[in-house]
Chain A
Amino acid sequence: MTVTDAPPVTGWRRLDRRSIWVEAVRPAGGLLLAGAVAVTLRGWDRLGWIEPAIGAVVVLGILVLSAWAWATTTYRVTDTHVELRSGLLVRSARSVPRDRLRSVDLTVDVVHRVAGLAVVAIGTGRQGGESDDELKLESVSRAEAERLRSVLLLRDAAPAADAAPPEPRAPLAQFGASWVRLAPLSLAGLVAIGVLAAALGQFREAIDYAALWGSGPVRSGVAWAEGVPLPLLVLLALGGLVLLNTVLSTVLYVVSYGGFRLVRGDDRTLRLTYGLLTHRSVTIEEARIRGVRVDEPLLLRLGGGAKARIVAAGLGVQDGEGNGKRDSDLLLPAVPVALVHRVTADVLGAPSSPAAVPLRRHPAAALRVLLLQWVPVSLLPALGLAVPAALGVFPHWPWQLALVLVPAAAAGAALEFGNLGHALSGEFLVARGGSGVRRTAAVRRDGVIAWRLRRTVLQRRPRLLSVTAAVAAGRGTHTIAYADQDEVLAVAAEAVPGLLAPFLEPDPVDGSAAQA
């Protein structure tokens, strides 16, 4: 980053001309691939001239649209604003003040890499609609992308006086062999199998089942399976799924996160780079980071791993789940938990990770509330199946089988209760919850921009309260669920001095019904 004195870019620019082809490759390629698969399954001899003709026209249409999109898209960076004009039919012009920019996210997938291009997404931190929180340029040349990154996150203001001296560029985290050990603990492989199966399902009408059934391998397979006892068969199938998941998850993990590097730039930014096929490079301004979230899916947690995400506005993920399309808030993929704690402490500038402090547990009454939430719902499938069974139009075993959901739901509630907790740790408010995935959010107390407190009728008598700290970041909800009312009110009042305190009053012991 030697661009400290680069002049600001002025004048309207177009995207790279090559983007016409690059943007067309994916839809056109997908179409051609789908066509090829369909034709292969139906048999090449049934292919006439009309299908290729339609294909050619559609591909041409895609190219024309792509060229038009290129011709109508311009952008510029002025001293104060970033502006983007685009739109085929509906012209849109967006202008974002440069001091509102939070992150610059470069994505280079295989096609873009071949063409020497990159997609630049600029996080703006707006909370309006789905597409509002980022400004996307697809695509510009690699050099232009790097230049934009340097120019955009460069503030003319000198770093704050308390800034640490520039550190040596040792990465905060770097992909290692020990990370891969944790990859099989994800269900990503099974998800991939599901997606693949669904995609193949599109072609099910083109499959000649009779021929498939009659084919040699299938017949001998079925004959073999008939000779194996059922429990063993089920075990074998499960084992096969586990094996498949292990292999696929590991491959996906290495392809997605291979080459992971997290470094701190000397311009007070964090930079993440990762990905073997699709290169991802995300730069986040440290001043915009409001906290971190540590996610521990049950399997991963048992294996001693965790993932981490950054809580900051303008990181492109709209759903709090973080499984969203962009993933720009990723801080660490599944890695050993000790590394997560070290890196989060480092990133937050805290002596130790606030996400690892001991938390205050929530009262046992919360377990009852959770059970009342989980268990009745889990009874519904059994009830729904039992009615036709009682009428004699449906067998009995399905509803009996559906009863398995009840202990599962109770276990889910118990798991969630075990995860509940909160704490104040230095500058951070820590909230933990979730059942299958334990989520621990640690957000800066001065980043809390509003409080939202809720309780249902069930929570009223046992004096439980759910407190959400609103943070200007994504969906921005960090909830301390089903906490003891007195305790959590005191914690919330302390977390942001002067905000909640004026609205609190002592609760007379005998006045539980005296609420106006």
Chain B
Amino acid sequence: MTPVPTSGAPRLRLRAPAHHVDPRAVTWWRLQNALSWGAVLLAVGVVLVFWRPGWLVAVGIAVAVLAVADVVVTPPIRYARHRWETTGVAVYVREGVFVEDWRVAPLSRVQTVDTRRGPLQQWLGLSTVTVTTASTAGALKIRGLDRDAAVELVERLTAATEATPGDAT
């Protein structure tokens, strides 16, 4: 099943955005995954204390293997995939491990720029920047930026947005 280039159309792809997020994001995602998988494992463990049929032990082991993989393997891949870039006219974000997702929004259509920091992110000194447009399909998220870099980015984007008249629809 080798892909056949369609007649005349040059082969194109989306290039990787220029910047990575902060490397501490890997730790953040590891902790996040560890916490959510930990809750599942804890629940299975509690049941196993009282009731131990063979199939449930097998399920428990499978969940544990998945959990370890999701804590050890996925976050670095996610870090490698998640990249962002702003140019004079647009914001460009790529993310996703199993489902790849690229988003592009022109600065002239940006409505709000927010930052958000969960408890883990506060502890690690990270921020998530959300850029929204007038469509719910058009929100871009840059997850796991350094806190100060995020503040600087928000200021820059807000200034660029305010420079454009109109209601961005």
The answer to whether B105 touches A449, judged by C-beta atoms less than 8 angstroms apart, is: yes
In the assembled complex, the Cα of A473 lies from the Cα of B136 at a distance in Å of: 9
1/0 per residue B1-23: CB within 8 Å of A?
A: 10101100111111111000000
Given contacts A449-B106, A452-B103, A457-B98, contact A475 B137 (CB under 8 A): yes
B92 neighbours in A (Cβ, 8 Å): 503
Interface residue? A463 (CB, 8 A): yes
Which residue in B1, B104, B134 is a CB contact (below 8 Å) of A461?
Answer: B1
In chain B, positions 133-161 with a C-beta closer than 8 Å to chain A are 133-138, 140
For residue B132, which residue of chain A has the nearest CB? Answer: A127
In the assembled complex, the Cα of A133 lies from the Cα of B31 at a distance in Å of: 38
B63 to chain A, nearest CB (A): 21
For residue B14, which residue of chain A has the nearest CB? Answer: A503
The answer to whether A449 touches B109, judged by C-beta atoms less than 8 angstroms apart, is: yes
For residue B140, which residue of chain A has the nearest CB? Answer: A450
In the assembled complex, the Cα of A485 lies from the Cα of B5 at a distance in Å of: 10
Interface residue? A486 (CB, 8 A): yes
Q: Contact residue range for chain B?
A: 35 or more
B100 neighbours in A (Cβ, 8 Å): 454-456, 460
| Interface core residue of B5, B87, B137 (most chain A CB under 10 Å) | B137
A507 neighbours in B (Cβ, 8 Å): 11-13
In the assembled complex, the Cα of A459 lies from the Cα of B32 at a distance in Å of: 28
The answer to whether B133 touches A453, judged by C-beta atoms less than 8 angstroms apart, is: no
B85 neighbours in A (Cβ, 8 Å): 503
The answer to whether A472 touches B13, judged by C-beta atoms less than 8 angstroms apart, is: no
Q: Contact residue range for chain A?
A: 35 or more
In the assembled complex, the Cα of A487 lies from the Cα of B1 at a distance in Å of: 19
For residue A99, which residue of chain B has the nearest CB? Answer: B167
Interface residue? A506 (CB, 8 A): yes
1/0 per residue A466-498: CB within 8 Å of B?
A: 001011110111000000111101100000101
The answer to whether A450 touches B87, judged by C-beta atoms less than 8 angstroms apart, is: no
Interface residue? A516 (CB, 8 A): yes
In the assembled complex, the Cα of A468 lies from the Cα of B169 at a distance in Å of: 16
| Interface core residue of B102, B103, B135, B138 (most chain A CB under 10 Å) | B135
For residue A288, which residue of chain B has the nearest CB? Answer: B169
B167 neighbours in A (Cβ, 8 Å): 99-100
A468 neighbours in B (Cβ, 8 Å): 137
In the assembled complex, the Cα of A430 lies from the Cα of B129 at a distance in Å of: 32
A498 neighbours in B (Cβ, 8 Å): 89
Interface residue? B162 (CB, 8 A): no
Can you add 12 more A-B contacts, CB < 8 Å, to A453-B14, A486-B11?
A452-B101, A452-B138, A453-B103, A453-B104, A455-B100, A456-B99, A461-B3, A485-B13, A490-B12, A503-B14, A504-B12, A505-B12
17 pairs, CB–CB < 8 Å, chain A vs chain B: A449-B106, A449-B138, A452-B102, A452-B138, A461-B1, A462-B1, A463-B3, A471-B135, A476-B134, A477-B135, A484-B9, A499-B89, A499-B90, A506-B12, A507-B13, A508-B11, A516-B80
Name the 6 nearest CB pairs between A and B, nearest first.
A450-B138, A472-B134, A470-B138, A476-B135, A472-B169, A470-B135
